[in-house]
Amino acid sequence: MLLGAQWGDEGKGKATDLLGGSVDYVVRYQGGNNAGHTVVVGDQKYALHLLPSGILSPGCTPVIGNGVVVDPSVLLSELSGLNERGVDTSKLLLSGNAHIITPYNVTVDKVTERFLGKRKIGTTGRGIGPTYADKINRVGIRVQDLYDESILTQKVEAALDVKNQILTKLYNRRAIAVDQVVEELLDYADKLAPYVADTVLVINQALEEDKVVLFEGGQGTLLDIDHGTYPFVTSSNPTAGGACTGAGVGPTKISRVIGILKAYTTRVGAGPFPTELFDEDGEALRRIGGERGVTTGRDRRCGWFDAVIARYATRVNGLTDFFLTKLDVLTGWEQIPVCVAYEIDGKRVEELPYSQTDFHHAKPVYEMLPGWSEDISKAKSFSDLPKNAQSYVKALEEMSGAPISAIGVGPGRDETIQINSFL
């Protein structure tokens, strides 16, 4: 399993793609098209939102699990975009139990954010939260509902009954017509039909046959609805447990849990971020790291590496390995600050505080590590790295609580130093 150890955008897409050549299945288990995963293959760059990054590896079967929320129009346009570029997408499997992001979920996401004003979460506006809310409220629409018009109509009616009251009376918006929604959804039915499958059965049978299955998380640990910086989180479980419910596999089946960890920290949207920089160092990280959102095009907030968060990610996910990404971006700093603990109300705190108030007050305690100026993008092994870069990696490993098994030194597939095998 592979997941984000920070606030998303750690480089999960690249890591998944790298492993794609040696695995049989890549499964997305949560989130939706709020994700933006970049994969660079040769001179080709792909931005994937809903499709598992394994789709670019010909031998690999990509699976969208039951825990994902699916916007059919986005899925179909992502598929046709890849087809136009010569990528074969015919192996895709889509869970019949995955929930559908309907047009009214997108509307509710946008109006809710507007209503929250300065208290807004800064969502991607893709309808993610409202769709998961409908799922939990038991008024959601699932992929399988597209194949029974009468049930679909009843379910859309039930969902819109309350929503139209809220939209018209509270938000002063126009009511959404049931027929129009049903018609639009039915239009997707035939187009999606070739992909719909009992993915839980398929994945478990594959595991019984000793096939290699990789679960690819969207977002990251600190955006987890249970373990993240609530309420500034996404509405699903990107953490390791989410893969079990979101794909229908037992925890005994998971052998490795790889945390993707950026050599510094970024975050998109609102919420606390202790090591955030507002100076020219932050600007430089953003510029050199190309830290602009793949989904919304927003500038990412940037800051130094936070070992407290990395330790926390190790714990809540039971990480067996880290994949450290974007080490190349740190080239050129004379000294690199790393947050080793927080100071909260005058006290030194070594672990992530569970209280939101404390976390909002957390100030980073920095240790300075010596930097390097040599270009590292061509490094193929750990010993190719300058001594100070090696020490930086070793220091992060020591602080973070799991071995760093691979290091990214550039966006391309082969710009990776593999230290331990992941398989």
Looking at residues 210 to 249 of the shown chain, list those that interact with Mg ion (rule: CB under 5 A): none
Q: 3-state DSSP call for residue 114?
A: helix
Residue 132 tokens, joined: 């998961």
| Binding partner of residue 221 among ligand IMO, Mg ion, ligand GDP, none, CB cut-off 5 to 8 Å per kind | none
Sequence-distant (≥ 6) Cβ neighbours of residue 416 within 8 angstroms: 18, 406, 407, 408, 409
> 3-state SS of the chain: helix, strand, coil percent to 5?
40, 20, 40
- Each residue 1-20 as x (binds ligand GDP by CB under 6 A) or -, in order, gives ---x---xxxxxxx------
| Binding partner of residue 364 among ligand IMO, Mg ion, ligand GDP, none, CB cut-off 5 to 8 Å per kind | none
Instruction: Give the dihedral of Cα atoms 183, 186, 190, 191; nearest 10 deg.
Output: 70
49 has catalytic annotation: no
Residue from the set 4, 5, 9, 95 that interacts with Mg ion by CB under 5 A: 9
Given a contact cutoff of 8 angstroms between Cβ atoms, the answer to whether 390 and 372 are in contact is no
Bridge partners of 46, per DSSP, are 39
Residue 385 tokens, joined: 């790295």
Our finding on whether 163 is near ligand GDP (CB under 6 A) is: no
Residue 167: DSSP 8-state: I
| Catalytic residue, candidates 17, 37, 306, 321 | 37
Q: How far is the CB of 248 from ligand GDP (least distance, A)?
A: 24
Phi, psi of 85 (to 5 degrees): -95, 10
9 has catalytic annotation: yes
Sequence-distant (≥ 6) Cβ neighbours of residue 5 within 8 angstroms: 220, 221, 259, 260, 261, 309, 310, 313, 314, 317, 319, 322
Nearer to ligand IMO, 37 or 142 (CB): 37
Our finding on whether 4 is near Mg ion (CB under 5 A) is: no
Nearer to ligand GDP, 159 or 285 (CB): 285
Our finding on whether 62 is near ligand GDP (CB under 6 A) is: no
Q: How far is the CB of 37 from Mg ion (least distance, A)?
A: 6
135 has catalytic annotation: yes
314 is in an annotated binding site: no
Please give the C-alpha separations between residue 230 and each of 120, 233, 377, 388, in angstroms, as whole numbers: 13, 5, 37, 36
| Catalytic residue, candidates 49, 99, 135, 163 | 135
Our finding on whether 126 is near ligand GDP (CB under 6 A) is: no
Our finding on whether 269 is near ligand GDP (CB under 6 A) is: no
Q: 3-state DSSP call for residue 42?
A: coil
Q: Is 417 exposed, middle or buried (0-12, 13-18, 19+ CB in 10 A)?
A: buried
35 is in an annotated binding site: yes
Residue 118 tokens, joined: 């300065």
Residue given tokens 């996404």 in the structure block: 234
| Catalytic residue, candidates 9, 109, 145, 306 | 9
Q: Kindly list the residues in this chain that would bind ligand IMO in the complex (CB under 6 A).
A: 4, 8-9, 34-37, 121-124, 126, 128-129, 218-220, 223, 234-235, 268-269
| Binding partner of residue 140 among ligand GDP, Mg ion, ligand IMO, none, CB cut-off 5 to 8 Å per kind | none
Looking at residues 303 to 362 of the shown chain, list those that interact with ligand GDP (rule: CB under 6 A): 325-326, 328-329
Residue numbers in the known binding site are: 8-14, 34-38, 124, 138, 219, 234, 294-300, 326-328, 408-410
Residue numbers in the known binding site for substrate are: 294-300
Where do contacts with Mg ion occur on this chain (CB under 5 A)? 9, 36, 294
Where do contacts with ligand GDP occur on this chain (CB under 6 A)? 4, 8-14, 36-38, 40, 290, 294, 325-326, 328-329, 408-411
What are the catalytic residues?
9, 37, 135
